[in-house]
């Protein structure tokens, strides 16, 4: 088997990829978040209109996606901290699965709370 293909099938690679992509997508979300916060400071009427717009089902689904990204990035970061500061063990490969499970559980809990 090709060594590059073998490396890309490793759980650590997928954990790295999810952590990196979630971080990039969260960074792209930040300007919109700061814009909404700016509305709260400067124009209450536009903020109210924006908040009414956020009641749409597609926006609610987007909120769920945002929570999933936050949970994935957070649990992936905890996995990286464990890799850095804990002694190496064979169970480190399982941390990727635990991080994915925690992310999905948090996102599902948020979706059920809507």
Q: How far apart are alpha carbons 114 and 102 in whole angstroms? A: 19
Q: What is the pTM of this model?
A: 0.72
**Residues in contact with 113: Cβ distance below 8 Å, sequence separation at least 6, in sequence order:** none
pLDDT tens-digit readout, 29-73 = 999 999 888 888 888 888 899 889 999 999 999 999 999 999 999
CATH number, domain of 90, equals 1.20.1300.10
Q: Which residue has the higher pLDDT, 89 or 111?
A: 111
- Does 78 score more than 70 pLDDT? yes
Burial status of residue 54 (CB atoms within 10 A of its CB: 0-12, 13-18, 19 or more)? exposed
By the 8 A CB rule, do 114 and 64 touch?
Answer: yes
Its domain, for residue 83, covers 3-113
Instruction: Say how many domains are in the chain.
Output: 1
What is the signed CA dihedral for 95, 82, 68, 44, rounded to 10 degrees?
170
- Does 23 score more than 70 pLDDT? yes
Instruction: Read off the pLDDT of each residue in 2-23 and give the average, rounded to a whole number.
Output: 81
């Amino acid at each position: 088997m090709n060594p590059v293909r073998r490396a890309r099938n490793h759980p650590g690679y997928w954990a790295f990829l999810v952590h990196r992509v979630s971080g990039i997508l969260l960074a792209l979300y930040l300007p919109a978040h700061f814009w909404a916060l700016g509305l709260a400071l400067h124009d209450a009427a536009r903020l109210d209109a924006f908040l009414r717009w956020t009641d749409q089902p597609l926006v609610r689904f987007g909120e769920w996606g945002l929570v999933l990204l936050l949970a994935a990035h957070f649990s992936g970061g905890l996995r990286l901290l464990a890799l850095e500061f804990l002694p190496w063990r064979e169970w480190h490969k399982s941390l990727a699965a635990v991080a994915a499970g925690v992310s999905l559980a948090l996102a599902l809990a948020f979706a059920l709370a809507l």
